[in-house]
Structure 1
């Protein structure tokens, strides 16, 4: 019987050793659909980033133009205020009267009309 037990044991070991091996599935790379989706996503990201950068460039140029225009406006306002002060100084009654006398004009009180603003 011992011999029979040994034979059974050897057969069981052979059966376990001879058991069919499972196929090892090798993982493939990305499928063509996944590659296309990846390329599309990368293209969309690149196009979006280029669009954002170009928009920021346009915004920068517009802001620069606005600042230049505001500076020109301030310069023109200062010039206008200086000229209005000069007009008010030159249109004083005493100065006009002196200029008229220098040119040989005389004041005739009967021809003077008072004009209100």
Structure 2
């Protein structure tokens, strides 16, 4: 029995050793399908990067326009506040009374009506 087991082991080892080795096929270059896929992928990358750059440029231009508009709004708000202060100064009672005297108007207290807010 022991001899038979040894023979089986030796045969199994010889079979595993004698297994034919796979030959590696060395291909030269890429197949036409792989070349087309590479070109299509490259085209998508180029188109995508161009699209991204174009979008970023548009966003930059819009942001620039927004900033200019905000700057104009701030300038107008400052002008409005300055004019409001000027209106308040010019509408003071003493100044109006002086202007009326310069123009020859006189205050008739019987014609004055008091209006309250």
TM-score (structure 1 length as normaliser): 0.75
Equivalent positions of 1:80-91 (< 5 A) are: 80-91=80-91
Equivalent positions of 1:20-99 (< 5 A) are: 25-99=25-99
2:105 maps to 1:105: yes
Unaligned runs of 5+ in 2: 1-22
Equivalent pairs, count: 95
The 1:24/1:63 distance shift into structure 2, 3 A limit, reads closer
Unaligned runs of 5+ in 1: 1-22
> C-alpha deviations, 1:38-82, integer Å up to 9, x for none?
011000000000000001101111111111111111111111111
TM-score (structure 2 length as normaliser): 0.75
Greater radius of gyration (CA)? 1
CA RMSD of aligned residues (A): 1.7
